[in-house]
With several copies, the nearest count.
Chain A
Amino acid sequence: MKSFEEFTLKEIVDQIEDGFLLGIPADYSGVPMAFTKELINKGFKNLRLYCLPLTTIQGDMLIGSGCVSEIETAAVTLGEFGLAPRFSEAVEKGNIKIKDSTCPALHAQLQATEKSVPFMPLRGVIGSDVQKNRKDWQIISNPMKSAGVENEPILLLPAVQIDVLVFHAACADRNGNIQIGRRRELATLAHASRKVFVTVEQVLETDFFEDELSAATCLPSLYVDGISEVKNGAWPCMLPGVYPSDNEEIKKYSLAAKTKSSFDEYMKFFLNS
């Protein structure tokens, strides 16, 4: 008996409600594409995306499919395949709310939640239009007498609580611990999320905690509410250390996504692939 909760992709999707704030991992930390298909199939209208710190095809597809009402991110891009067309069009037309941010702010807001404090200070950023357009951010005069400079303007960022985080990883052990290796931003994301579901390439008949070094590479099952075994679960994105991205497919997507109609065409194929 596996001592963790096994979920199907559908069961994971059933944990998500319209309006939820979803944690979205970067392309290097395990994009849950198989899950994203199920999510699009369910037909959400008002998902809010919190990217740590950016998204590629996952975010563009969700936006193109009309599932997203708001996105907080440092960037949406298809990398070497250019701009994210559905994202760009949705922003240009005002179809989604964009909360432009910057990588360190997206990390810091989750660190605030990780520590259960209402805000986190950050240096830099002040004076940019990124800062000026964020009404939820605040600048105060440094209140700390024992550190920093008097009257220095300090940017405060609010704690952000993710409702549900889903990411894809190489493997889990039999106790539900997830191997994340150097992708420690996934730990911060998990700490700041109410529910965490992970799709994995495989479940290993081992216990990562039996060895100090392998323990160091994992996210403890303590933070994981359910696991689904999905082969090639990141396709066509890469799963670092396991498989590269399918550049042919992403290129195909990047071309199809240029117009709404060819995007829709592509998605018909993709959702049934």
Chain B
Amino acid sequence: MTIDIKREELLISQLADLLINDNHVAVGAASPIPGAAALLAKEEARYLDKRLRVTILHSSRYNNFTDGARELFDCAAQGRIDTFFLGGVQIDGQANINLVGTGKYPHTKKRFPGSFGSPLMYFVVPQIILFREEHSPRTLVQKVDFISAPGVSDDKIYRPGGPKYLLTNRALFKFNKKNEKFSLLKLNENETSDTITKLTGFDFDIHEDLSYMSWPDNKRLDIMRNNVAPMVSEFYPEFANKIWGV
């Protein structure tokens, strides 16, 4: 059965597993996989008679806000968003993320778009899931060249939120706030802790429950393909078409 499952579907399923305790998941720009995961979790919650609210900024239908572009940040600061997703040109072992560029700032060697809302969201949303498909020493580095948002802050700083997980094509890490370090929690099918060590630019621990990523079962696949796919096609038509042909 596993041969039928796309890589993206596995990632969506992994992310959806992390959202089961949430009341409100928000998804920022250019995030089709997190967006699909949030909608999958929402649909599954419905079967359990629970309500999961999903705000997808890129969509007009799943955008719950009416107070302008500011509301996402105010809403998050109020503690009304449980999970948000962030990416990074570079992510380092302390969970610092860089969305600005590589090389010395400001005249970076390679300039990327910018930090967006990450410097606030990373501080106030309890569960930040870092998501970066490319898993390589180029993306997962020892020290980022520019800190768009820091992974940890000292105790005096107001910080109810922060990094909880990092998902890539190859692995899922859990962030440990105490020792400020990631631990390897799940592997994609062709990986071992050795391959991950080689492809990761930072040091990490091995979680005591290290296991392989579990594949979505038939029920979840049904929901994903029948319910979620058409929803995603509203705001990421190209992605939905590529993965599900809708």
Q: What residues make up the interface of A, taking CB atoms closer than 8 Å to B?
A: 3, 26, 28-29, 52-54, 73-77, 79-80, 83-84, 87-89, 91-94, 98, 100-105, 107, 111, 113-116, 122-131, 133, 148-149, 151-153, 182-188, 191, 209, 212, 215-223, 240-241
B53 within 8 A of A: yes
Q: Given A114-B78, A123-B120, A103 and B30 touching (CB < 8 A)?
A: no
- Contact among B66, B110, B114, B148 for A220, CB-based, below 8 A: B66
Secondary structure dominating the interface of B:
loop
Chain B residue with the shortest CB-CB distance to A129: B147
- The complex places the Cα of A125 from the Cα of B74 at a distance, in Å, of 14
Which of chain B's residues have a CB closer than 8 A to the CB of A217?
A: 66
Check if A188 sits within 8 Å of B109, measured CB to CB. no
Which of B2-10, B13-21, B149-157, B190-198 is near enough to bind chain A? B149-157
Check if A75 sits within 8 Å of B114, measured CB to CB. yes
- Smallest distance from the beta carbon of B197 to chain A beta carbons, Å? 28
Which of chain A's residues have a CB closer than 8 A to the CB of B154?
A: 127
Contact with A along B95-132 (1 / 0, CB 8 A): 00001110001111111111111111111100000000
Which of chain A's residues have a CB closer than 8 A to the CB of B68?
A: 182-188
Chain B residue with the shortest CB-CB distance to A73: B114
| Total B residues in contact with A, Cβ cutoff 8 Å | 59
B67 within 8 A of A: yes
Secondary structure dominating the interface of A:
mixed
Q: What residues make up the interface of B, taking CB atoms closer than 8 Å to A?
A: 24, 29-30, 51, 53, 55, 60-61, 63-70, 72-75, 77-80, 99-101, 105-124, 146-150, 153-154, 156-159, 238
Check if A129 sits within 8 Å of B100, measured CB to CB. yes
- The complex places the Cα of A52 from the Cα of B80 at a distance, in Å, of 22
- Smallest distance from the beta carbon of A252 to chain B beta carbons, Å? 17
Check if B69 sits within 8 Å of A53, measured CB to CB. yes
Which of chain B's residues have a CB closer than 8 A to the CB of A131?
A: 119
- The complex places the Cα of A240 from the Cα of B59 at a distance, in Å, of 11
Which of chain A's residues have a CB closer than 8 A to the CB of B53?
A: 222
- The complex places the Cα of A31 from the Cα of B72 at a distance, in Å, of 21
- Smallest distance from the beta carbon of B106 to chain A beta carbons, Å? 6
Which of chain A's residues have a CB closer than 8 A to the CB of B24?
A: 222
- The complex places the Cα of A114 from the Cα of B72 at a distance, in Å, of 11
- For B119, B157, B158, the residue with the greatest tally of chain A CB atoms inside 10 Å of its CB is B119
- Smallest distance from the beta carbon of B33 to chain A beta carbons, Å? 14
- Contact among B61, B78, B111, B153 for A209, CB-based, below 8 A: B61
- The complex places the Cα of A113 from the Cα of B74 at a distance, in Å, of 9
